[in-house]
Amino acid sequence: QSLLTQPASVSGSPGQSITISCTRAGNDVDGFKYVAWYQQYPGKVPKLLSFDVSHRPSGLPNRFSASKSGNTASLTISGLQPDDEANYFCSSYTTFNTVLFGGGTQVTVL
Amino acid sequence: QVQLQESGPGVVRPSQTLSLTCRVSGGAISGTSFSWNWIRQSPGKGLEWLGHIAYTGTTGTTSYSPALKSRLNISPDVYYNDRFSLTLKSMSDADTAVYYCARGELAAIGVWGQGIPVSVS
């Protein structure tokens, strides 16, 4: 079984760029081909930010960009805004046809 | 536009079985290439994927979280092609959470219900 590890928190000042990592650990090497990212405000439903590693849903600002290298996927938020303060989760689809979520990263705008 | 809505009890007694239903507005669940998922979130915690029915055409295949597989069943509604259900046996305090149904494609869960809070008490 695999695990997805995210930092508990990341912070930045308005206008800065921040990057959230999502690192895969475990034996399911091929189970990191499909990675997605979500934004969630407290008490709200998660919102899909990217899928298939780096694709953005239509209408999403290009300030959010995602990528992957080896065992680590990343979400970069450019031009950080106060409204970006939220919890961010990664997910991957495993070769066992299951979905894994990372533990989440709280983004704070200073 | 597809919308999902969870329904079921808000309180379940310890050791009892939770039954939830998800109604999909704007489309059927079979005959699609989507997966129909159940996901939960315990108070102050992260997202936990529970399981799904994934369709290829009219053929649906279920997959479950290994941690819950022995207690969990996800199934399409026998009579209505716009609903699917979750049953989770032997509920305990650890199962207190907001339960979401959601539509996905592989890792991308793009359409979520509003969530239904379930308390074990």
pLDDT of chain A along its 110 residues, tens only?
678 999 999 999 999 999 999 999 887 777 788 999 999 999 999 999 988 878 888 888 899 999 999 899 999 999 999 999 999 999 999 888 999 999 999 999 99
pLDDT at residue A1 in the model:
61
> Would you call A42 exposed, middle or buried from its count of C-beta atoms within 10 A (0-12, 13-18, 19+)?
exposed
Give the tens place of pLDDT for each residue, B22-40.
999 988 998 888 999 999 9
Q: How far apart are the first and last CA of chain B?
A: 36
pLDDT at B4 over 70: yes
| CA A64 to chain CA mean position, Å | 10
Structure tokens at B95: 């199962």
Q: Which residues of A touch B65 (CB under 8 A)?
A: 98
Q: Which residues of A touch B64 (CB under 8 A)?
A: 98
Whether B21 contacts chain A with CB within 8 A: no
Give the tens place of pLDDT for each residue, B54-111.
988 888 899 999 999 999 999 999 888 999 999 999 999 999 999 999 999 988 999 9
Q: How far apart are CA B121 and CA B119, in angstroms?
A: 6
SS3 of residue A55 by DSSP:
strand
Considering only residues 46 to 75 of chain A, which have any Cβ-Cβ distance to chain B shorter than 8 Å?
46, 48, 51-52, 57
> Would you call A78 exposed, middle or buried from its count of C-beta atoms within 10 A (0-12, 13-18, 19+)?
middle
pLDDT at residue B116 in the model:
98
Q: Which residues of A touch B109 (CB under 8 A)?
A: 36, 38, 46, 48, 91, 99
